[in-house]
Amino acid sequence: MSTVQTFCVATASILLLPVFTSAADTNPIYLDGKRPISERVNDLIPRMTLDEKVSQITDDWGSAAIPRLKIPALLKTEGLHGQSYSNGATIFPHAIASAATWDLPLVNRVGQAVGQESKAAGIYQTWSPVLDVARDARWGRIEETFGEDPTLVARMGVAWINGFQSQGLIATPKHFAGHGAPEGGRDSNDIGLSERIMREIHLVPFRAAFEEANAGGVMAAYGTWNGVPDNASTDLLQGILRQEWGFKGMVVTDCDAIQHFISKHAISTNADGATKMALEAGVNVECGTVWRKNIAGAVKRGVVNETLVDNALRPVLETKFRLGLFENPGPARLNWEKIPAYDTPEHRALARQMATESMVLVKNQNKILPLAKNLKTIAVIGPNAAQVQLGDYSARPVEDQLVSVLDGIKSHVAQGTQVLYAPGFSWQNPNDKSGFDEAVNIAKQADVVVMVMGDSSSSSSNMSRIPDTTGENRDGATLTMPGAQSDLIKAVHATGKPVVLTVVNGKPFVFNWEAENIPAILITWYAGEEAGNATADLLFGDRNPSGKLPLTFPRNTGQLPLTYDYKTSGRSYDYYDQPFSPQFRFGYGLSYTNFKYSNLQFAPSPQNPAQVTVTVDVQNTGTVAGDEVAQLYLTDPVASVVTPIMQLKGFQRLSLNPGETKKATFQLTPYDLSLLDVNMKRIVEPGEFRVHIGGSSPEIPGTGNGGRAQGENQKASVGFKDPSQGISGQFNVATPYAARFVYTLTTPPKIQGGAEFMATMTVKNAGNLTDITQADLYEGSKIASRRFELKPGETKSYAFPLTMYKAGAATLSLTGSDQLVSRAITVAKSPARLRLGALKTQVDDDGVVSVSTTATDVGSEAYKGQLVLMVDGKATTSRALTIQPGETQNVELKYAAQRNGNLKVQLGNLTEQNIQVPGGIGMTWGDGLLLSLPFNEGTGATAKDLASGKTFDIKGTPRWDAQSLTISDGAFVPVGGINLANRSFTLATWLKINQLNNGQIGIFGGRAPMGAGQNESGSTLHAGIRDGKLQFGFFGRDVAGQAAVPTGRWVHLAYSYDSTINQGTLYIDGKQDTQKDQLPYMGALETIGTTPQMQGGQFALHDLAVVGGALNQANVNLLSEKGAQSLGAGTYQTEWRPLKGALSTLQAWADIPAGSRITATIEVADASGKALDSKTLPLVSGATSLPLTGMKPGAQVRVRLDLQAAKGATSPRVGSLILKGDGLDARWITPSQWKKGVAAGGVSVDAN
């Protein structure tokens, strides 16, 4: 197979301008679905402004739509175990639970189901699955992973991605790479992983995801590799990802990772540097605000070339074209509500099946399980019995969606069985033992006790803040069960009643006492919405346990990191006070039946002796049907480098009836047998290989000999002590395997100096093993390089466009794998050529645009010519240049802007750039009136929004008073999810407090889904009153008021957030109370009358409004006095400008939404201010030039603008205003010019 690609060596060539076609074309190429995607992208990018480009490569729940160009949105979700950005989507078991099934077809079906629900919601991308290989059990995010083994993670990841992408969507696995081995288990604290560890462990699942499943995206991790943050690593994002693996999709950052270059990694002091690093490394989409706020300025300042922005943009647009979104666009905004495709009976059944298969029985002494359904009394005890722990990145459950273990047990037992329940303690106060007596009392009454203990993570009680014990940024220093759980278990055990311990967990626990004393232990993980039914299915024998541990359970936290595939020690293994071995080993899990392994056979391929078919017979020797997971582990007994004691290389799930025997078949490839030698070359060394196949990983050699491992060679002793658990054998490979690369370089023998030509390197793998190589291209010094991964017999080519200038003989050389290939080239003499450097732009306070660059003559003759500055396609000014051969000059040209907004600037043959001239006036409410609830219904259970015309149901029992709604007894108004993410807004209402709840009430509330950002952005919205004062925050980023809010009377409150300066401001009765820096909120407004952190109390609301802009004090006063609609009208009066004669024209640029209007009144006066003439003219959207001939001359002139917005519309605005006449060129373009006038009503001056 041969492939040819093109790479531009930017240092050796001049980039040519793409052909620009007007966006007004009726049939542009990019909208023609029959044209190749590359042509469509090439046609679209030049049509886009810089701000539009930035909107595509910055995340706002996905990549935004651009209606002007008919570019669709690409919405995303965090689909780890369901469509998480929703209410009521199916909540499947978390990833660690799905890994415990070891069932690839089932995982594929779940991926399909998540894809179906996502697509039904108009979401075409998921930021999942997590392909981190979890190497430290203290890490809080283990619940999101597929476990500790690279093969298991890879197989699970490929199955899930194939399922999800089968629905015409793209998966974005994360976190690339090495994220699963944090130092001390602390999230994102990478330990400086070596290239060997990365390639042996952490890169394995990602390689499979891209080479086998063709995943369409990838998220780079927060951490570092080789001292460089992953989001700035060209080695990871270019060399490995795009070159070795051929990835062509989108690279997204983890949220705020680019900001971390400055605030955490300290590799840059400013946003310009951080922006450039990420773009040059190959990031395509930022989750965060650095690019959104900084790219345009960095391009203007010449720090970032717009070509880098285009390079980042290209895969985003290619993805939208490939998904067919231009032809069939989905919604532009996320729909947070439950839709019919969510949680169908088929998907609920699938969730239950996965939950049942995932649960791992690790102890069943005296076969206490399964329980009889007709027991007289069962006690159910524990903090997780009556609520369902879901784990991070879960959909929000709707009423009756979740089934708790208590519910499941009640629905499974016989009619006469009494089920008693006591929590023992609550997660709000996990060390409180006051509930122990109740728990012990019901245990004494029971025939058996089912204890439901474990972790807390994003529980079903989602409107209260329950402390999480696992999850993102919830890492534990120990692995003991949190709070007083162990004491509660011991207290119940002391009653003498049989205890079944059901563990709800997101990571392993250390529970040595429990493992020794409790007769039955069932690991259930975060099992999703059907957790209770699935648990009961196993407890009562409706289903047979079949899950296997995807993680090692240690005996002590001090053993960590502890994984089954450890490398042999230079000395001992044990501690002086306990053995090295784990409590429960990787792959372990019991059944209600027994299995036997026999007849292990090896069949090497005659043509390829390292391609080995391995078979084994598996028999169900028990009396009930069951599933067994046959697992194949490989040991390389003697190697030239240290290798793991064993490695999982395959697994197969088998369903067996009593007495039935089935043959499990595995294929071992040369790649499976290979290792990385001392030179990091992949080889298969001739010799013996040992294979172990069983229902778990084989036992490690016996330890405990005074702190020393028994036996000198651990590898030789690995196996199964109990033959019924597994079988071992060996085979030999006599043939060595390695790649052998052959390189060729193709160039023309003669070229014209200054003319581009192609140099093509070709690499063939003439060996018998897949491996990677790097080929470097030299012309004196190294000018380019390329990595390749090639299978045996595969050929790949890569073409570099190059340009040479110096006349005479030249030599190009290619090196790789100790080979040197050279080609002689004759370069003909070239005439003078002008090469321009990066374009730098700047706009001063008067709207003068300065454009500068460097000009170099790269020919052999002097250059003479004109350098022309083009603005919006028209020549504006020029400069004559005379440059000697090899000389570089600094060149600057200036242009007085005729309007603000986006200008297209081109200097010479440089790529056209978009610059932004700030300024203008518009309505203070920015994006318009988002919500207006007067609460004047007086009766009923609904409230009408005057902004949208929607009617909202009021939850609870509303109480109406004179033109107001009283909130009490848990009543609140759900408002459907008004997007406030990363935007300015103001929340305002008239309020009358009748009674506070512990000094607090909640007025405006909402949540951001998981993944909104963990460090630089907020995940919950709460605006209300705490301790009798205003409180406005986004979960830990609060602005607290200073003055007490009056009670017993009506008071007007406003909470304002300005995203342009990250500032929150509080107002009471129109007066500023507090102002403080505040980072952005990342979610939606969801409720009126309650918040995630503040509930209760009794209070009345009237004239409540949510405005899409940050109101100042004057506007807040206007809002309180005249209502929300008053903000949609206002005036702007310019200052007087001198006039020497008659006026000729008024030129303006305006944006006027449908239903809105703007009029301009021109007033002429004499020197004393006496009015001489006036004229009122309507403005239209876009550029306007209106004649003013016939107006009387005077000594001074000014303009009044009247703005009126349609109800709820975005702001009408005027960008620029120019008056021309005799000796007059009066301009209002930049903020400094607009600020000389006076704005009134709802009008304000734009700062940018």
Q: What is the pLDDT of residues 1013-1039, one digit of tens each?
A: 433 345 678 899 999 999 888 765 688
- The domain defined by 360-546 folds into Rossmann fold (3.40.50)
Contact 1161, 1226 (CB under 8 A): no
Per-residue pLDDT, 461: 42
Please report which residue ranges of 913-1046 form alpha helices under DSSP H: none
56 against 476, higher pLDDT:
56
On the question of pLDDT at 28 being above 90, the answer is: yes
Per-residue pLDDT, 1010: 56
Per-residue pLDDT, 981: 82
Assign 1150 to helix, strand or coil: strand
Nearest to 972 by CA among 1092, 1106, 1107: 1092
Assign 657 to helix, strand or coil: coil
Specify the CATH architecture of the domain 595-737: Sandwich (2.60)
Q: If pLDDT is split at 50, 70 and 90, which confidence band does 921 have?
A: confident
On the question of pLDDT at 1075 being above 60, the answer is: yes
643-687 confidence digits (pLDDT tens): 999 999 999 999 999 999 999 999 999 999 999 999 999 999 999
Q: If pLDDT is split at 50, 70 and 90, which confidence band does 467 have?
A: confident
On the question of pLDDT at 1011 being above 60, the answer is: no
Q: Rounded to whole angstroms, how far apart are CA atoms 203 and 209?
A: 10
Residues of the chain with CATH 3.20.20.300: 50-322
Which letter does DSSP use for residue 268 in this model? Answer: -
Contact 739, 770 (CB under 8 A): yes
On the question of pLDDT at 698 being above 90, the answer is: yes
**What amino acid is encoded at 271 in this protein?**
A
Mean pLDDT of 409-424: 97
Tokens (6 digits) for 657: 């009836």
Q: Quote the radius of gyration of the chain (alpha carbons, Å).
A: 35
Classify domain 834-917 by CATH number.
Answer: 2.60.40.10
Verify cis geometry, omega within 30 degrees of 0, for the bond prior to 561: yes
| Residue 1234: C-alpha distances to residues 838, 983, 1215, 1217 (Å) | 32, 24, 10, 9
Mean pLDDT of 1099-1107: 94
Phi, psi of 1014, rounded to the nearest 5 degrees = -105, -20
For the ranges 186-190, 691-695, 872-876, the maximum mean pLDDT occurs at: 691-695
Q: If pLDDT is split at 50, 70 and 90, which confidence band does 10 have?
A: very low
**What amino acid is encoded at 671 in this protein?**
Y
Lowest model confidence (mean pLDDT) among 2-6, 82-86, 1014-1018: 2-6
Nearest to 653 by CA among 94, 160, 93, 107: 107
| Beta-bridge partners for 843 | 849
Per-residue pLDDT, 90: 98
Nearest to 244 by CA among 281, 206, 277: 206
Verify cis geometry, omega within 30 degrees of 0, for the bond prior to 94: no
Burial of residue 742, with CB atoms counted within 10 A of its CB: 0-12 exposed, 13-18 middle, 19 or more buried: middle
Per-residue pLDDT, 25: 64
**What amino acid is encoded at 38 in this protein?**
S
CB atoms within 10 A of CB 734: 9
Q: If pLDDT is split at 50, 70 and 90, which confidence band does 14 have?
A: very low
| Beta-bridge partners for 1221 | 1143, 1224
On the question of pLDDT at 459 being above 60, the answer is: no
Mean pLDDT of 558-586: 86
On the question of pLDDT at 11 being above 60, the answer is: no
669 against 575, higher pLDDT:
669
On the question of pLDDT at 1002 being above 70, the answer is: yes
Tokens (6 digits) for 458: 């994003």
| Mean pLDDT, all residues of the chain | 90
Assign 858 to helix, strand or coil: coil
Q: If pLDDT is split at 50, 70 and 90, which confidence band does 1198 have?
A: very high
For the ranges 234-238, 917-921, 1058-1062, the maximum mean pLDDT occurs at: 234-238
Please, what sign has the CA dihedral across residues 173, 174, 176, 178? negative
108-123 confidence digits (pLDDT tens): 999 999 999 999 999 9
Which residues fall within 8 angstroms of residue 25, CB to CB, at 6 or more apart?
none
Catalytic residue list: 254
Q: If phi over 0 gives left and psi between -120 and 50 gives alpha, with beta otherwise, what is residue 141? A: alpha
Please report which residue ranges of 22-103 form alpha helices under DSSP H: 37-44, 50-56, 95-101
- The domain defined by 50-322 folds into TIM Barrel (3.20.20)
On the question of pLDDT at 796 being above 80, the answer is: yes
Per-residue pLDDT, 91: 97
Contact 525, 100 (CB under 8 A): yes
Lowest model confidence (mean pLDDT) among 338-347, 538-547, 554-563, 597-606: 554-563
Specify the CATH architecture of the domain 954-1122: Sandwich (2.60)
| Residue 32: C-alpha distances to residues 16, 26, 72 (Å) | 24, 11, 14
Nearest to 143 by CA among 191, 187, 205, 87: 187
Residues of the chain with CATH 2.60.40.10: 595-737, 739-828, 834-917
Assign 1122 to helix, strand or coil: helix
Classify domain 1129-1245 by CATH number.
Answer: 2.60.120
On the question of pLDDT at 613 being above 90, the answer is: yes
Q: Between the CA atoms of 909, 910, 911 and 917, what dihedral angle is there, to the nearest 10 degrees?
A: -120
Strands annotated E in 1036-1156:
1039-1044, 1050-1058, 1063-1068, 1071-1077, 1084-1088, 1098-1107, 1129-1133, 1137-1138, 1143-1151
918 against 422, higher pLDDT:
422
- Total residue count of the chain as it appears in this document: 1248
Pair type for strands 973-979 and 1071-1077: unpaired
Contact 856, 888 (CB under 8 A): yes
What does pTM read for this prediction? 0.83
Q: Rounded to whole angstroms, how far apart are CA atoms 978 and 1104?
A: 14
On the question of pLDDT at 463 being above 50, the answer is: no
Which residues fall within 8 angstroms of residue 240, CB to CB, at 6 or more apart?
203, 787
Per-residue pLDDT, 159: 99
Phi, psi of 956, rounded to the nearest 5 degrees = 85, -160
Nearest to 146 by CA among 166, 136, 131: 131
Phi, psi of 41, rounded to the nearest 5 degrees = -65, -45
Specify the CATH architecture of the domain 739-828: Sandwich (2.60)
Per-residue pLDDT, 466: 66
> What share of the chain has pLDDT > 90, as a percent?
66
472-500 confidence digits (pLDDT tens): 888 889 999 999 999 999 999 999 999 99
